[in-house]
Amino acid sequence: MELTTRQQVVDFARRILGDERVDLIMNAPFNDLGFGYDQFGMERESILLAYLYARVFYEYWFRVESSGHENLPATGRAMIVPNHSGVLPIDGLMIYADIMERAPHPRLMRGIIEKVFSDLPYLGTFMQRCGQVTGTKYNFEQLLQAEELVTVFPEGAKGPGKPFSDRYKLVKFNVGFVELAIRNRTPIIPVSVIGGEEQYPMLADIKPLAKLLGVPYFPIMPQQFLLPPALWLLPLPTKYKIRYGEPIELYREYPEHSVEDPDLMQKLAKEIQDTIQDMVDEDLAKRQSVWFG
């Protein structure tokens, strides 16, 4: 953004969010490498824009309810590890908005995203401007060493790309986040997200078309039959519920050299997956309505 445009964004955000919330974003630790961007392309003003957008869906569309905020650290490195669902990564956006809105100590959140999203024209650049980072181990570790709060979805693209018939059944976790948590002495905060699976029910996946376009899946959804093309990406107004579990501190039990044991890493990743699956199952059992919670 140009300097004048950046100032206009800040001024507009102050009118909507108030000075305290805007100052939190504008005064957050930021390694400016020049022209207002950090090494990953993050720009504070773009974060403000994304937050303003997210709040509309957070408050009025998904009407997010949340609990367990006491498990979020006020400072220091930590991993937010949720289940993943819903075709597009709106669940991550809702977690970001929730931490800003309701955490006792609101913080900026960095997200680890699939390379396929960061490579998308315009959208990929905007996601980077908003603090999202392509999911290489190097990038991930740099964020942790900078004491950031980082969200990672160990299911990868398979989580939001599963068919509706498999909703809320977690896909096998990748193990990289476990290795990094131990190496960097980082607590893992398991998170349950309810409501994302129904926002874009995937009725089918046209795999040849997905391969042609270079994307992990090409979904067929009810919106494509019920709405005009301009509204196909409008999510259904499901009721979101987010719950943060107690931190898991693997590094207290497992020394750094344990990451060299692949079987152990698989075992620990499976244990965390089971913990989150149990949280999801518990929250689903309490839900009475997809639309009203």
Nearest to 137 by CA among 107, 173, 174: 174
Residue type, 257: H
Radius of gyration over every alpha carbon of the chain, rounded to an integer in angstroms:
19
Q: What are phi and psi of 149, to 5 degrees?
A: -90, 115
pTM of the complete model: 0.93
Q: 10 Å Cβ neighbour count for 99? A: 22
Indicate the CATH number for domain 40-286.
3.40.1130
* Ordered alpha helix ranges (H), 90-249: 90-102, 115-118, 123-129, 137-145, 176-183, 207-213, 223-226
Those residues with Cβ within 8 angstroms of residue 30's Cβ, 6 or more apart along the chain or in another chain = 38, 42, 44
Report the sign of the C-alpha dihedral through residues 142, 146, 147, 148, in that order. negative
Mean pLDDT, 10 residues at a time, the chain of 293 residues:
83 92 87 87 92 95 98 96 93 95 91 81 85 92 95 93 94 97 98 97 92 87 92 95 98 97 98 98 97 93
Q: How far apart are alpha carbons 241 and 71 in whole angstroms?
A: 16
